[in-house]
Amino acid sequence: MAVVVAAFWAVVAQAQSDQAPAPTYNVGDRWTFDRLVPPDRREPWVDVVREVTPDGVVVGKRGRRFSPVFNPFDQAGGEYHLLRFPLVVGNTWEHANDWSSPTGNLKTTTSLSYKVVGIEDVTVPAGTFRAYRLQSRGFVKDRSTITPIPSDARAEENYWYAPAVKRIVKYEGKHVKWVSPQWVVNWELRYEMTGYQLAPQATVGK
């Protein structure tokens, strides 16, 4: 009986260790990133937590706002659910959002299905981290009034969240459209973390 009980709690402990709880942030937390621009250009940026409220995190001098778990917001204030905690391998969720240009001529609706694929080591300039690998797949529907023939684009994202630094440390996303006779990339974003400082810890990287 004791062996069965011990085995049960060992399974529980393993299950708990294989999930990432929602992070908490502190004023002064700092991360640096490079956006990777083809063919070989790097565009650096810095995120520094300026304020933490029950509604989210405020970053930088311009006061960019994120959700309490650092998900970005769309134009209407809706949350992009890149991360949904606790992260558990195999978890899935759905998300859709609308986007429009300031003039209203350009409009899209994005519908994505997300999944926590696994846990693995990922290496970026900031170091090597144990990370949750996530992916999304879906479509971007073009509803623009100035587009001669509105069409859908396939959307895909692959990204790695490292609990040790409380951020996505590597991201790869793109939209592709069918332009006969081939698929063409019409949007792409890639970035990786180059350094971090979690208040009040010492700086790592640049």
Residue 109's Cα: distance from chain center in Å? 19
Mean pLDDT of the chain: 87
Q: Show Cβ contacts of residue 130 under 8 Å, excluding neighbours closer than 6 positions.
A: 119, 120, 121, 162, 163, 164
**pTM for this prediction:** 0.84
pLDDT of residue 206: 61
pLDDT band at 2 (very low <50, low <70, confident <90, very high): very low
Domain ranges for the chain, please list them.
22-205
Q: How large is the average pLDDT for residues 47-69?
A: 94
Contact 160, 168 (CB under 8 A): yes
pLDDT digits (tens, 9 = 90+) for 89-127: 999 999 998 877 777 777 888 899 999 999 999 999 999
Inform me whether the pLDDT recorded for 22 exceeds 50: yes
Contact 163, 141 (CB under 8 A): no
Query: Is domain 22-205 classified as CATH 3.40.50?
Result: no
Contact 65, 42 (CB under 8 A): no
Distance from C-alpha of 162 to C-alpha of 78, rounded to nearest angstrom = 24
Q: What are phi and psi of 99, to 5 degrees?
A: -135, 145
pLDDT digits (tens, 9 = 90+) for 149-177: 567 899 999 999 999 999 999 999 999 98
